[in-house]
Amino acid sequence: MTVPYERIQAVLRTQELLREPAAGAPIDADTLRRLAAAMLKHYPAPADLDPSAAEKNQMTSHGDIITVAVYDGEFNGDLAPLVVICELEGSVLLRDGARFPHFKDVAKLLEMSADKCSVPQPLGDYFPVFVGHKIGSDVQPLARFDVFAHNGAAIASIVSADFPRIDTESVRYAVDDNVIGIACKVLRSVIRAG
């Protein structure tokens, strides 16, 4: 899964690469192949550049934007007393016309964001993670992960209107893991459990 930041960086790196030989700088074929492969991994598809193609692509491949919002505190049905720790969004390809992004796609977004974002460690033992489907400027809630993390062990309850509640097994996390890293480890345990 490629997030918008990676698409922008791919375009900028490609521009830099093209300028070097254009200015007369030598570049060997192996280096050129390696750089081209790395840049093409996240290079925008035509649908990302042409709005009409993007609409056509969305109708045919079910491409969507997922959002992830992490709050500090125990969720009791009201977000008002909770503090936002971080918010993420990224594009995913929904599999077989599914309404909910596959857990693997959400985990990939979390993994990619953990390395690129400055995200704090949890302030308390509880932090809910909300996953949504973004349509225009509206976000439709899809699932909530109620995470409890204490002394290097984390568990969660995952709730959604589309599937029964899932209570995860305990997973270990490092004391320096941030909320995204912990949530990703919890989600990966669900994926492994099948």
Phi/psi of residue 6, each to 5°? -65, -35
Query: Between 100 and 69, where is the model more confident?
Result: 69
Q: pLDDT tens for residues 112-170?
A: 777 666 777 777 899 999 998 887 778 888 889 999 999 999 999 999 877 788 899 99
Pairing outcome for strands 138-150 and 126-135: antiparallel
145: closest CA among 131, 129, 132?
A: 129
Q: For the chain, give the number of residues.
A: 194
Q: pLDDT tens for residues 33-74?
A: 887 777 777 677 665 655 444 444 443 334 578 888 999 999
Q: Is 163 inside a domain boundary?
A: yes
Residues 66 and 162 in one domain: yes
Q: Is 53 inside a domain boundary?
A: no
Coarse DSSP helix, strand, coil percentages of the chain, rounded to the nearest 5 percent: 40, 30, 30
Domain that holds residue 147: 62-193
Is a pLDDT exceeding 50 seen at residue 83? yes
